[in-house]
Chains A and B, each alone.
Chain A
Amino acid sequence: MQTSNFKQRIKKVPPVAYMLIIIIAIFSFMEPHYLSFSNFRNVLIQSTPLMIVAFGQTCIVLTQGTDLSLGAQVSFVTVLTVFLAQRGIMLEVAMLISVCCTVLIGAVNGLIVAKGNIPPFIATYGTQNIVNSISLLLTAGSSIYFSSFTYRIVTETTILFIPLMVWVAVIVFAVVWIVLRKTKFGTNIYGLGGNREALALAGINPAANLIKTYAFAGMIAGIAGIITLCRVESGQPIVANGWEFQAVAATLLGGTSLREGKGGVTGTIFGVLLIQIIKNGLNVIGVQSIFQNAIIGSIVLAAIIIDAVVRIRAKE
């Protein structure tokens, strides 16, 4: 009984984890200094904001959706917080207001998707553009600044050699994991992707839960926005452009399926790490940045294809 349990656990490890190990092995073979604690710490720090966004995106993907406005929401938080702080509102309060705004944006996304019955891809593409425009309006197209010591608290306080911001990501992970596995809301998220009719027949309101899920992802994007703000120490309207897609890629790499409410947030960690480790490794071994995107794109594709092939084999 115990061994079969162990085997099942092994089977649950997404293939991307193995891929991660292989990639790390390759890089450390090519560059001996690669495998150092400080470099690993760097990767963790660089991954943090995207990691948090991806946790939110995973919840959306589980409902058979994608939220393309998450990147725009992150940028918007950096902009709005600085914008408000410049006008005399306490920075911490401004942060809170910004996060409330992203929750609202998420709720609007959910409302359009659930009540308008509009494909999430389209609905959130719309809000992405609107939110981006607002960010650019507030900053007149460039960066805006507000200096504060608070940023450094987040980025430079360390607990067990790890900066506070990484711990924030750990907490967000724990919260999302508990929500998905240990709450009614989480069960409903799996139901939204797996069998909406089942929810409706059990007397659960699918639309309300969908709105909640998008708002939840919005809140998480808001937190990622705060972290990003602390790193760049300014309001930057396009700082997180494209993160939403990276988050989707990381989610899929992590074994969450776009089709049937299958997967979870643990795999997403590996997905994000894979993307970031490749980026970092290419820098360390000195690959020109113009080639980097093509290489990352190829590896993401390869990972997803390998995953699909493994799954089809397993079925047969």
Chain B
Amino acid sequence: MGRTILTAKHITKLFPGMKALDDVDFDLREGEVHILVGENGAGKSTLAKVILGAYKAEEGEITFDGKAVKFNGTKEALERGIVAVYQEFTLVPHISVAQNIFLNREYRTKMGLLDHKEMEKEAQELMKSLNCEYIDVKCHVKDLSVAEQQMVEIAKALSFKPRIMVFDEPTATLSEREVDSLFDQIHRLKKEGIGIIYVSHRMQEFPLIGDRITILRDGVKIKTVGIDECSNAELVNMMVGRDVSRVYVRTPNEHSETALSTEGLCDYKGKVKDVSICVRRGEIVGIAGLVGAGRTETAELLYGIESIKSGKVFVKGKNVLPRTPRNATKLGIGLVSEDRKRQGLALDESIALNIVAVSLKKMFPRFFLSNKRIKETALDYKKQLRIATTSVNKACKYLSGGNQQKVVLAKWLSFNPDILIFDEPTRGIDVAAKMEIYGLMDRLAAEGKAIIMISSELPEVIGMSDRIYIMHEGRIVDEIERGTGDFNSETIGARMMLGAGGTVDADE
């Protein structure tokens, strides 16, 4: 491990009404990956932003390369070689990759015009150093895939010749294979002596790339530990501040009649092929599979977002056709979608309005709305689901991921459908909120709802489901009941990757 390049001491950062960081110490060495973990709102992104110069801390000092520094804005930090690879991409869609990389540092010809040739040449070299020479640097960023865009982000960061790189939740939007190649890059950067700050709450990633972990909770630093010095359970305990030995809760209950079933479902895009599933009341059925296996597409067929090409859907034994989402809700089907920001919520609208969005018609069959009743309903769910907010009139965009997801759930609870489809219900939210959502799912099942859960996180599917369907390339390749011998992550994981015949041995 190299020498220390950055130390932050006694950092305190105030936001209106709260202490985002309270006397936090942090240090980073050359060639190490230092992971920052904590629940949403614990202050990990805030700390990263203070180091990046995006926020000014009220107290504390930062030493960089042995000298005390104070950054006025990100540009000053950039010039010293402290760069960020952001979670939300900071690329301009309709200019070229090269132009994006050199944004605000454009090369110019003698005439003062942009020197596209020189920028493209250098950009191509950067891409090559990332083993991404297949990305055409003349291409508009908009024409690239998400993973390619991330590589452009990294290339952009590298063009600053960084000493320190900050990755903020970099894997949130990537598929498994893309994550692997990202980790390869991080390992390579490490070898070059770059210090890396990695903000994440995906614990399964930590042993793969981390050297040290700093745990934050409510703006306070709990501890910094070496990667091998701490088990996952201890880590979670430190993050949440209470014992979470039982993350997945399932109360045993009776499964009664079939609520929803399908026969030979196919879609027009060829992503869903001959899917027959069923879910009974009181049951949680998991659908496991890799990204692109057709799980979300199946949910979209059931919820009427995409059209069914062939096959039948039965709700409570009656043959139905969910043509539109409106149609589907009338049939008693609800969907907690994968992308809550785009599909689940009206981000600019208030929490209250989002909660009653689907049930407005039910609540007010006559013409006029009652703001009082809307607010009461919202407050009720705020209490029930412990949505952390000062007011239900706040716009949803100001909430953390976990709380946003709770608003989505509240929306469906207030509508009270019999069948609920959860698509990646815990993506991008912290452990405490996850546990609350698991608890809620369990409660709903106990109340006799039929639940379908789509998830890429195996422990979650296995922990919560009564039965698991495994999807592979659009088909259901297997169905495994809880309590049978195959109900374990090795078997399910192998079949997800390899299809029906997959076993653990075949993995080689």
Question: Is there an interface contact between A262 and B94, defined as CB atoms closer than 8 Å?
Answer: yes
Q: Interface 1/0s, chain A 254-285, versus B by CB < 8 A?
A: 00000011110000000000000000000000
| A203 CB contacts on chain B under 8 angstroms | 73-75, 78, 104
Q: Measured between alpha carbons, how far is A72 from B91 in the docked complex, in Å?
A: 36
In the complex with contacts A183-B113, A184-B114, A197-B90 CB distance below 8 A: yes
Question: Is there an interface contact between A182 and B114, defined as CB atoms closer than 8 Å?
Answer: yes
| A183 CB contacts on chain B under 8 angstroms | 112-114
Chain B's closest residue to A192 (CB) is: B92
Q: Which of B109-155 contact A (CB under 8 A)?
A: 112-114, 116, 142
Q: Measured between alpha carbons, how far is A187 from B94 in the docked complex, in Å?
A: 9
Chain A's closest residue to B269 (CB) is: A316
Question: Is there an interface contact between B93 and A262, defined as CB atoms closer than 8 Å?
Answer: yes
User: Which residue from A182, A187, A194 sits with its C-beta under 8 Å from B93?
Assistant: A194
A140 within 8 A of B: no
CB B96 to nearest CB in A, in angstroms, measures 10
Question: Is there an interface contact between A260 and B103, defined as CB atoms closer than 8 Å?
Answer: no
In the complex with contacts A182-B113, A203-B74, A262-B142, A194-B104 CB distance below 8 A: no
Q: Measured between alpha carbons, how far is A198 from B84 in the docked complex, in Å?
A: 12
Question: Is there an interface contact between B93 and A204, defined as CB atoms closer than 8 Å?
Answer: no
| A181 CB contacts on chain B under 8 angstroms | 114
B68 within 8 A of A: no
CB A193 to nearest CB in B, in angstroms, measures 8
B234 within 8 A of A: no
| A263 CB contacts on chain B under 8 angstroms | 94
Question: Is there an interface contact between B94 and A260, defined as CB atoms closer than 8 Å?
Answer: yes
Q: Which of A133-157 contact B (CB under 8 A)?
A: none
In the complex with contacts A182-B114, A187-B114, A204-B103 CB distance below 8 A: yes
| A194 CB contacts on chain B under 8 angstroms | 92-95
Question: Is there an interface contact between B90 and A187, defined as CB atoms closer than 8 Å?
Answer: no
CB B401 to nearest CB in A, in angstroms, measures 18
A312 within 8 A of B: no
Interface footprint category on B: 20 to 34
CB A5 to nearest CB in B, in angstroms, measures 10
B338 within 8 A of A: no
Q: Which of A195-217 contact B (CB under 8 A)?
A: 195, 197-199, 201-204
Q: Measured between alpha carbons, how far is A204 from B112 in the docked complex, in Å?
A: 18
Interface of A is mostly: helix
CB A188 to nearest CB in B, in angstroms, measures 8
In the complex with contacts A203-B74, A204-B104, A195-B92 CB distance below 8 A: yes
Residue among A181, A199, A203, A263 with the most chain B CB within 10 A? Answer: A203
Q: Measured between alpha carbons, how far is A204 from B104 in the docked complex, in Å?
A: 7
Q: Measured between alpha carbons, how far is A195 from B92 in the docked complex, in Å?
A: 5
Question: Is there an interface contact between B94 and A184, defined as CB atoms closer than 8 Å?
Answer: no
Question: Is there an interface contact between B92 and A201, defined as CB atoms closer than 8 Å?
Answer: no
Question: Is there an interface contact between B93 and A195, defined as CB atoms closer than 8 Å?
Answer: yes
CB A196 to nearest CB in B, in angstroms, measures 9
B426 within 8 A of A: no
Residue among A181, A194, A263 with the most chain B CB within 10 A? Answer: A194
Chain A's closest residue to B75 (CB) is: A203
Q: Measured between alpha carbons, how far is A30 from B76 in the docked complex, in Å?
A: 66
Chain A's closest residue to B52 (CB) is: A201
| B88 CB contacts on chain A under 8 angstroms | 197
User: Which residue from B75, B103, B113, B114 sits with its C-beta under 8 Å from A191?
Assistant: B103
User: Which residue from A178, A182, A193, A198 sits with its C-beta under 8 Å from B103?
Assistant: A198
| B75 CB contacts on chain A under 8 angstroms | 203
In the complex with contacts A198-B91, A260-B94, A178-B113 CB distance below 8 A: yes
A190 within 8 A of B: yes
| A178 CB contacts on chain B under 8 angstroms | 113
Question: Is there an interface contact between A190 and B104, defined as CB atoms closer than 8 Å?
Answer: no
Question: Is there an interface contact between A187 and B95, defined as CB atoms closer than 8 Å?
Answer: yes
Q: Measured between alpha carbons, how far is A187 from B104 in the docked complex, in Å?
A: 9
B261 within 8 A of A: no
Chain A's closest residue to B73 (CB) is: A203
Question: Is there an interface contact between B113 and A198, defined as CB atoms closer than 8 Å?
Answer: no
Question: Is there an interface contact between A199 and B103, defined as CB atoms closer than 8 Å?
Answer: yes
CB B154 to nearest CB in A, in angstroms, measures 15
Q: Measured between alpha carbons, how far is A178 from B114 in the docked complex, in Å?
A: 10
Residue among B73, B75, B88, B90 with the most chain A CB within 10 A? Answer: B90
Q: Measured between alpha carbons, how far is A261 from B94 in the docked complex, in Å?
A: 7
Q: Measured between alpha carbons, how far is A201 from B78 in the docked complex, in Å?
A: 10
B465 within 8 A of A: no
Question: Is there an interface contact between A190 and B95, defined as CB atoms closer than 8 Å?
Answer: yes
Question: Is there an interface contact between A201 and B90, defined as CB atoms closer than 8 Å?
Answer: yes
B106 within 8 A of A: yes
CB A132 to nearest CB in B, in angstroms, measures 34
Q: Measured between alpha carbons, how far is A230 from B106 in the docked complex, in Å?
A: 40
Question: Is there an interface contact between A261 and B78, defined as CB atoms closer than 8 Å?
Answer: no
| B100 CB contacts on chain A under 8 angstroms | 198
CB B120 to nearest CB in A, in angstroms, measures 14
Besides A182-B116, A183-B114, 10 more A-B contacts (Cβ < 8 Å) are A181-B114, A183-B112, A184-B114, A191-B95, A194-B95, A198-B91, A201-B74, A201-B86, A261-B92, A262-B94
Could you show 27 A-B contacts with beta carbons less than 8 Å apart?
A181-B114, A183-B112, A183-B113, A183-B114, A184-B108, A187-B99, A187-B106, A190-B95, A191-B103, A194-B92, A195-B89, A195-B90, A195-B91, A195-B93, A198-B90, A198-B91, A198-B92, A198-B100, A199-B92, A201-B90, A202-B90, A203-B74, A260-B94, A261-B92, A261-B94, A262-B142, A263-B94
Complex A-B, nearest 9 residue pairs according to Cβ-Cβ distance, in ascending order: A203-B75, A202-B104, A194-B92, A198-B90, A182-B113, A191-B92, A262-B94, A202-B103, A194-B93
